[in-house]
Structure 1
Amino acid sequence: MKIAIIGSRGYPYVYSGYETLVKELSERLVNRGVSVTVYCHKALFLERPTEVNGIKLVYLPSIETKILSQFVHSFLSVIHACFTDVDVIFAVNSANGPFGIITKLFRKKTAINVDGMEWLRPKWKGLGSRYFYFASWLATKLYDQIVNDSEEMRKTYLDLFNKDSVVIAYGANIRKSEQPGLIEKWGLTPNGYYLIVGRLIPDNNADLIVEGFHKTSSKRKLVIVGDVPYKDEYSLKIKAMADRDARLLFTGYVTNQNELAELYHNAFAYFHGHEFGGTNPTMLKAMAYGSCILALDTRFNREMLQDDKFGLFFSKNEDSIAALILDIESMPVESQRMKYASSKGITARYTWDHVAEQYIEVFNKLRPQRKK
């Protein structure tokens, strides 16, 4: 079986949830005898080997702007893949919905992981929001199989587009703290800080969490890991908050995975403010790394944490966040209990091996039966 994967930045370029999915899935597919080709953004790779870890790599150019980069690259990738002998084209990101027209013309079997409700994200205002809604709707008409990453997102697609989908969550690898000293580079000590991890975009609500924290008299720090790869008012406004609260620490991107793991392991609690989307890879890491999780109260976060079994929730306002900080600091034993319990939420559903097996099942059902 031959699979082509489009819509990510490439392999092994681990940058966000989609790239992590492509990496973990591709490696496991190859180990199970599947031929995998991943399409990569040429500009992101100084070295361009044609194959890494048994995964075939194709590097194509794009127009490198915030809006056009992924769209143009995916368009070129689909065209290229349609002229190959791959059995199934697997796309990630609902923005690639319109390209199903091309695969239909070439009679290529397709699957698409549509991710979350991109049309609701504040960064896609006006035309961008309308495009994502249209592209998501079009994906349900043109692709052979829709994949969602949570039951709640499956319900959303049923309600909005009258289209059922296969639910395949993201995965995570459980690990324990091995090098706690790695956090010392930021002047941090175990349990001496709260943690936020994610892009500095409005729907991740880092500004709200910072404002809620600012209202407290906590002696701990608030560490914000992440940034955006461009300058905008929102990210600059959040980072400027450090000028009025010395307890705030912005690390920028942390690309060393051992350092990032230790930041999770040693935090007093992890704040998850992501508002839209289904199974969130950042939350999965917090669970797998044994964090005490404080999450925005959404149906997606409740599904992941099995309501309050593996986390506590706050409402979308500063006072709720401040009150939760006061509560958790008055219950240090409860914080430790939640740390111990959170990794138990990584059930078989959230393991990469199980994720890979589910995708293989989808691809096998789609691939054309070759004549003997």
Structure 2
Amino acid sequence: MKLRIAILGTRGIPNYYGGFEHISEYVSAGLVKRGHEVTVYNSHNHPYSGDTWNGVKIKHCFDPEYLIGTAGQFVYDMNCLLDARKQKFDVVLIMGYTSSSVWGWMYPQKSTIITNMDGMEWKRSKYSKPVQNFLKYAERLAVQYSQYYISDSKVIQSYLADKYHISSSYIPYGAEVFTDQEREQLTPEDALKEDYFLLMARMEPENNIESILEGFNNSNSTKQFQVLGNTDNRFGKYITNKFERDARINFRGGIFDTPKVRQLQNNSYLYFHGHSVGGTNPSLLEAMASEALIAAHNNPFNKSVLNTDAFYFSDAADVRELIENVQRKDPETMMVKNNLNKIQDQFNWEKVIQQYEDFIVESHQSKNFSKVIPDLG
């Protein structure tokens, strides 16, 4: 069955921003290869200005975020929906709900509406209490106005079942195994094996960057610490200022060159993953696929992916202990191998794309337009 599918809710593809853009890249192109017609909505400010990308149609919609700040995201999502209402898509896949579910009453009535429910956005510490309350409201609206749901984490799947009594399909992100060809492309600078620690994250408080770097700062390590992430925002400037006197810490900015990132992950002595909110995180899967030894923040999201194949930390003191004591011997080698097996068996892109296609086709065939709205009180 060939379907006309639209993907909304991202800043666009190819990915220059984050998780939903990352998965939209792979899923959209994968669905096109399987014979579907796929359109992804892009911000008019997106660096890519073409009308197609790897067979995917690109719709550019006006995005005033650069003029009016966060409120512009709501206007952008509204503009995307207004256009989608005219296109007669069979299926509309909405990635997240933060600035789109308020327009739920505008969702195309004759399209099957599927929402990827994101990672409990209201728990993010960067948001004020009023914003957190709004995000809880937006989450309820996403439940109300969608017909089918995707969870990228089993933790989120359980949360939605408990909170709203709805079923959702668990479909994680994917990652590609670090290949021999990529290894051959290592530059001499990047090939210095295991002489540095690494973290890669958006500069946000809930990613525990401050705790990680505080622990390293207090340690007696002689290794370097490489930090990947754009530091132009308020928190990024705070972090760089706080640790500027530690010559061992190197803030390298945002790097979107995937082979380069994979090389850095593969070569690191220990990769720190501090994300504490959200579902299955793409950078974590890529680190696993790149055969990095991982230290992750101790929370259900990370543990549901890594299980016992990682070190865990809760604060700066834990980080310092790991920095000073973790070794690279047979048990650690087995942890790396087990995580690589998880990528090959559970989190490979072909399987993820197949799960998306199966769920999209099944949902459209069901055409559950008379869905009973759950009690959102």
Q: Same fold (TM over 0.5)?
A: yes
1:261 is matched with which residue?
262
Please report how far the alpha carbon of residue 19 of structure 1 lies from its aligned counterpart in structure 2 after TM superposition: 0.9
Alpha carbons of structure 1 residues 369 and 282: separation in structure 2 relative to 1, 3 Å = closer
2:189 is matched with which residue?
184
1:323 is matched with which residue?
321
1:343 is matched with which residue?
340
1:205 and 1:273 in contact (8 A); partners too? yes
Work out which of the residue numbers 163, 171, 175 in structure 2 matches 1:172: 175
Please report how far the alpha carbon of residue 87 of structure 1 lies from its aligned counterpart in structure 2 after TM superposition: 0.2
Q: Which whole-Å deviations, capped at 9, do the CAs of 1:227-273 have from their partners, x for residues lacking one? A: 25x531x2112112342211101100112222111100100010011
Please report how far the alpha carbon of residue 183 of structure 1 lies from its aligned counterpart in structure 2 after TM superposition: 6.7
Are 2:108 and 1:111 equivalent residues in the alignment? no
Are 2:134 and 1:99 equivalent residues in the alignment? no
2:40 and 2:57 in contact (8 A); partners too? yes
Please report how far the alpha carbon of residue 198 of structure 1 lies from its aligned counterpart in structure 2 after TM superposition: 0.8
Alpha carbons of structure 1 residues 183 and 44: separation in structure 2 relative to 1, 3 Å = farther
Alpha carbons of structure 1 residues 35 and 197: separation in structure 2 relative to 1, 3 Å = same
1:44 is matched with which residue?
46
Secondary structure of residue in 2 paired with 1:184? coil
Partner Cα distance (1:334, 1:184) in 2: 28
Number of residues paired by the alignment? 360
2:20 is matched with which residue?
18
Are 2:352 and 1:355 equivalent residues in the alignment? yes
Partner Cα distance (1:286, 1:129) in 2: 30
Partner Cα distance (1:209, 1:137) in 2: 34
Q: Which whole-Å deviations, capped at 9, do the CAs of 1:63-114 have from their partners, x for residues lacking one? A: 124412332211111111111121011100121223321126x332100111
1:313 is matched with which residue?
312
Greater mean deviation of Cα atoms: 340-349 or 22-31: 340-349
Secondary structure of residue in 1 paired with 2:40? strand
Secondary structure of residue in 1 paired with 2:189? helix
Partner Cα distance (1:223, 1:183) in 2: 17
1:57 is matched with which residue?
58
Structure 2 gaps of 5+ residues are 368-377
Partner Cα distance (2:42, 2:349) in 1: 22
Question: What is the one-letter code of the residue matched to 1:222?
Answer: F
Secondary structure of residue in 1 paired with 2:6? strand
Please report how far the alpha carbon of residue 368 of structure 1 lies from its aligned counterpart in structure 2 after TM superposition: 5.8
Question: What is the one-letter code of the residue matched to 1:101?
Answer: W
Greater mean deviation of Cα atoms: 260-269 or 236-245: 236-245
Question: What is the one-letter code of the residue matched to 2:152?
Answer: D
1:39 and 1:77 in contact (8 A); partners too? yes
The equivalences for 1:268-287 within 5 A come to 268-287=269-288
Alpha carbons of structure 1 residues 74 and 183: separation in structure 2 relative to 1, 3 Å = farther
The equivalences for 1:215-294 within 5 A come to 215-228=218-231, 230-232=232-234, 234-294=235-295
Q: CA RMSD in A?
A: 2.0
Partner Cα distance (1:35, 1:180) in 2: 35
Alpha carbons of structure 1 residues 135 and 183: separation in structure 2 relative to 1, 3 Å = farther
The equivalences for 1:61-80 within 5 A come to 61-65=62-66, 66-80=69-83
Secondary structure of residue in 1 paired with 2:187? helix
Partner Cα distance (1:323, 1:364) in 2: 49
**Fraction of identical pairs, as percent:** 28
Question: What is the one-letter code of the residue matched to 1:215?
Answer: N
1:200 and 1:235 in contact (8 A); partners too? yes
1:291 and 1:338 in contact (8 A); partners too? no
Partner Cα distance (1:274, 1:183) in 2: 30
2:31 is matched with which residue?
29
Q: Which whole-Å deviations, capped at 9, do the CAs of 1:37-62 have from their partners, x for residues lacking one? A: 111000123x6322222111110111
Partner Cα distance (2:311, 2:300) in 1: 13
Question: What is the one-letter code of the residue matched to 1:236?
Answer: K
State TM-score, norm by structure 2. 0.90
1:87 and 1:368 in contact (8 A); partners too? no
Please report how far the alpha carbon of residue 347 of structure 1 lies from its aligned counterpart in structure 2 after TM superposition: 4.0
